[in-house]
Structure 1
């Protein structure tokens, strides 16, 4: 990796551990093990550093989502495989929770800084598009609406697990909860109307 990338990854760890108050040029230099002034050479202002951190975080998460999408493309219509691979990815995220914690901090900051919001939502848009494609593959209607709901629910489970700890027991509990959630939402046998009543069986199960 480049020195710039090393600095940004160190900054993500800093945000995860100390919050945005801990994100200073000097602190990033120290966390990356580089001479003082290294971060300032790439990012002249704190705003520039913050924007770059958000973009790097989106890049890291986005790469994982892209890999999952590529795998799903090789198994069209196989919802069970999609669920298994998604759970593997989520478990991997929890095993290295710094990006998740940093994303939580930066998501809140993006509500106050519109210039950050686009970079923060890029990965989510890709994730929702992937889930929508899987829903279409298995024959479920209202794919875009369901995909938004699924990603929001998974995100909530991730953040709750993160707040409770990310040890083996917490991760096992998360996987069980997430599997039940994804199975209910992704492999549901019915499309529901606005009142929650089943309209039609679209999966044949």
Structure 2
């Protein structure tokens, strides 16, 4: 049963990432996952429960994909490499999931209950980035980490919406090196 539930969640994220939040329904998830009609509603009785399941599943997948082991001994150079890797994954193989996350943030902005797990996941990545920047010796680590994250968000959004061929490496290199060189 876990394998079919996993297929349903993967299909739901794909559906959100390609067709948007308004297209999400139990029947469409079943169809996209190749599951018998009613399968998704057996696990998630309501649309709200389905959204909650999707959010939790996406967070679990992202934690597994981008574990802190990615950058065990951070330096500005390894941070650049790590950010470039994450950028390529988020805009390549995980592009549908990235679009789904953005769609959910926008759609659920006024729903504190469903927005909470998305916000928790974001804070977890903020803490991870704070740690990396601090351990790399970059001055003013928390503002530097927020700068890096905002830059990453902007680059990902730009590549997914405006410029699918965007090479983010020069921008990431310049920003991280400038932050590393900055003094108070």
TM-score by length of 1: 0.81
Per the alignment, residue 33 of structure 2 pairs with: 32
Q: Distance in 2 between matches of 1:113 and 1:128?
A: 22
Runs (5+) with no aligned partner, structure 1? 193-205
Per the alignment, residue 83 of structure 1 pairs with: 80
Q: Distance in 2 between matches of 1:165 and 1:46?
A: 33
CA drift at 1:61 = 1.8
Q: Structure 1 residues 174, 120: closer, same or farther in 2, change over 3 A?
A: same
Q: Distance in 2 between matches of 1:123 and 1:90?
A: 17
Aligned runs of 1:8-157 on 2, under 5 Å?
Answer: 8-66=9-67, 69-73=68-72, 75-76=73-74, 78-96=75-93, 97-157=95-155
Q: Structure 1 residues 142, 177: closer, same or farther in 2, change over 3 A?
A: closer
Are the aligned partners of 1:157 and 1:178 in contact in 2 as well (CA < 8 Å)? no
CA drift at 1:157 = 1.2
**Looking at both structures, which has the greater relative contact order when contacts are Cα pairs under 8 Å and sequence separation is at least 6?**
2
Q: Distance in 1 between matches of 2:114 and 2:147?
A: 23
Secondary structure of the corresponding residue to residue 34 of structure 1: coil
Q: Structure 1 residues 81, 141: closer, same or farther in 2, change over 3 A?
A: closer
TM-score by length of 2: 0.89
Q: CA RMSD in A?
A: 1.8
Are the aligned partners of 1:87 and 1:178 in contact in 2 as well (CA < 8 Å)? yes
Number of residues of Structure 1 aligned to a counterpart in Structure 2: 182
Q: Structure 1 residues 38, 165: closer, same or farther in 2, change over 3 A?
A: farther
Which consecutive aligned stretches of 4+ in structure 1 deviate over 4 angstroms post-superposition?
A: none
- Find out whether 1:184 has 2:184 as its counterpart: no
Q: Distance in 2 between matches of 1:23 and 1:107?
A: 15
Q: Distance in 1 between matches of 2:5 and 2:131?
A: 35
Task: Give 1 or 2 for the bigger CA radius of gyration.
Answer: 1
CA drift at 1:165 = 4.8
Q: Distance in 2 between matches of 1:82 and 1:123?
A: 20
Q: Structure 1 residues 113, 20: closer, same or farther in 2, change over 3 A?
A: same
Runs (5+) with no aligned partner, structure 2? none
CA drift at 1:146 = 2.0
Secondary structure of the corresponding residue to residue 191 of structure 1: coil
